[in-house]
Amino acid sequence: MFSKSQLVIVLAVFLIILFFVLVFFGLIPGLRPDIGTKTELSVWGVYISEEELSSGIKSFQETYPNVTVKYEEKNPVTYESDLINALALGSGPDVVMFHNTWLPKHINKIYPAPEEVISLRKLRELFPTVIEQDLTSDEKIFGLPLYIDTLALFYNQDIFDASNISSLPETWEDFLTVVKKLKETDNKGNIKKAGVAIGGSLDSIERAGDLLSLFMLQSGAKMVSDDFSRASFADIVKDKNPGRSALEFYTQFANPSSPSYTWNDSLGKSLNYFSEGKVGAIFNYSHIVKELKNKNPFLNFLVAKMPQLKGSSLPVNYPDYWALTVLNRSIHKEEAWNLVSFLTTNQLVASNFYQISRRPPALRTLLPECQKDNDLAPFCNQTLTARSWSQVDKNKINLSFSEAIKDVVEGHLSAEASLKKAQDKITLLMK
């Protein structure tokens, strides 16, 4: 027989157990713990396959077992419009891949990173300077990069050897000498064999706009005003016009009367021309290494760093990359930013992504490893000196630059007038 005090204890234990059973099964409304709640995050991206992200996503879900992640690779051609349309309909993903030039155009759609996820100080420790240039505003962080690519020189080793070029151009003065050795013209000055694919518009040079931006930045042009109210790359800077000088330098290679004439738009797309072994060099990003090998497995090509201005104290290189960010419309912003941070700042996850995707890593700590990579070393050697500028609409800016190139090459306008025309058009876009 139980004593009275023992019965009280047994009854109390029974009631406690009963209470927790009722709570667990939800029979007491509002008191059931959240242990079974699942959060699903939707991620949209381009150029990156599910396989390339799967290792990082799997690790994240193991760390956060109550969160599941669904990744969807979208069509790059319609990606931006698909995203805008989805947001207009009140739908869309939680996390998106975000081009490094998109912030001025889409900042109102993004939820900035909470301070506890990543601070500006931590960003500077982890990533190169260009990330702060591209993805921050008013000391708020609006995206974190998966990788950082830069323009580089792709050259045909066989053609360089046949032209007796023993050293790669480190400056643009060296490059002019290389072009003259590579090109072949007939007695009328017509191109028999193109030396380097440069000087043309977007009709033939896939990266014409990026190349012109690079030349302007290397020359010291101020691309936009400090208050982002107008384009300013045609302005005079310290009694010089660096923007005009950059355009003149670029277009000389497509000018038949120039001693550096080596290319024209009628030759066709530069990437195809290079893959067929018809031109000594082109400029492009790391992702075309795989494309070139697929187009022509027997093409003997290598990659070198971009030439720089002679006497320049600091190299300037031009970036192109995609970051991850969280949309305002997400109802799981905290979990979404945890995912973004996990995929981009976790060294093991970022290293796995680099090894699988074969894209130059963004984390500073991974650059030494990449600098030993035969295919990617030139790109990784340029990451820390990559510099960008705020672009209201990259596609439209590229078209304006392409039109300026055509105006000069075809003799419609002077370099100064064509550049001013492009500046006015881009300023109108900004307004």
Mean pLDDT of 216-240: 94
- Name the residue among 415, 424, 391 with its Cα closest to residue 103: 391
Residue 3 pLDDT = 58
Q: Are 149 and 321 in contact (CB under 8 A)?
A: yes
Angle of CA points 351, 357, 360, to nearest 5°: 65
Residue 36 pLDDT = 55
Grouping H, G, I as helix, E, B as strand and the rest as coil, residue 240 is strand
Q: Are 361 and 68 in contact (CB under 8 A)?
A: no
Task: Look up the CATH architecture of domain 152-316+392-430.
Answer: 3-Layer(aba) Sandwich (3.40)
pLDDT at residue 168 tops 50: yes
Mean pLDDT of the chain, nearest integer: 92
Read off the pTM: 0.89
Residue 21 pLDDT = 44
According to DSSP, residue 109 is labeled: G
Confidence of residue 37 (pLDDT cuts 50, 70, 90): confident
CATH fold, domain 39-149+320-379, is D-Maltodextrin-Binding Protein; domain 2 (3.40.190)
Residue 186 pLDDT = 86
Q: Which two tokens stand for residue 189?
A: 């000055």
Close Cβ partners of 320 (under 8 Å, ≥ 6 residues apart): 100, 149, 150, 151, 210, 285
pLDDT at residue 426 tops 90: yes
pLDDT at residue 26 tops 50: no
Confidence of residue 89 (pLDDT cuts 50, 70, 90): confident
Domain 152-316+392-430 in the same topology as domain 39-149+320-379: yes
Q: Which two tokens stand for residue 341?
A: 């941070």
Domain boundaries, the chain: 39-149+320-379, 152-316+392-430
Close Cβ partners of 329 (under 8 Å, ≥ 6 residues apart): 87, 90, 91, 92, 109
pLDDT at residue 300 tops 90: yes
pLDDT in tens, 176-209: 999 999 998 888 888 989 999 999 999 999 999 9
Residue 16 pLDDT = 57
